[in-house]
Amino acid sequence: MATATAAGKARCVTCGKEKSTSRCDGCSQPFCYKHLGDHRQELNKQLDEIEVSRDLFRQTLTEQSAKPENQTLMKQINQWEQDSIAKIRQTANEARKLIMKHTTKYLTEIETKLNTLTKQLRESRAEDDFIEADLQRWNKQLTQMNNELDKPSTIKIQHALTPLINTIRINLSGNLSVLYF
**Site residues (vs Zn ion, CB under 5 A):** 12, 14-15, 24, 26-27, 32, 35
Decide whether 23 or 54 has the Cβ nearer to Zn ion: 23
Residue 12 Cβ, how far from Zn ion at the closest point, in Å?
Answer: 3
Decide whether 14 or 120 has the Cβ nearer to Zn ion: 14
**Distance between CA 33 and CA 104 in Å, rounded?**
95
Decide whether 24 or 168 has the Cβ nearer to Zn ion: 24
Residue 171 Cβ, how far from Zn ion at the closest point, in Å?
Answer: 45
Strand partners, 171: 176
Q: Of 41, 44, 13, 10, which is closest to residue 27 (Cα–Cα)?
A: 13
Residue 170 Cβ, how far from Zn ion at the closest point, in Å?
Answer: 48
Q: Decide: residue 75, CB within 10 A, 0-12 exposed, 13-18 middle, 19+ buried.
A: exposed
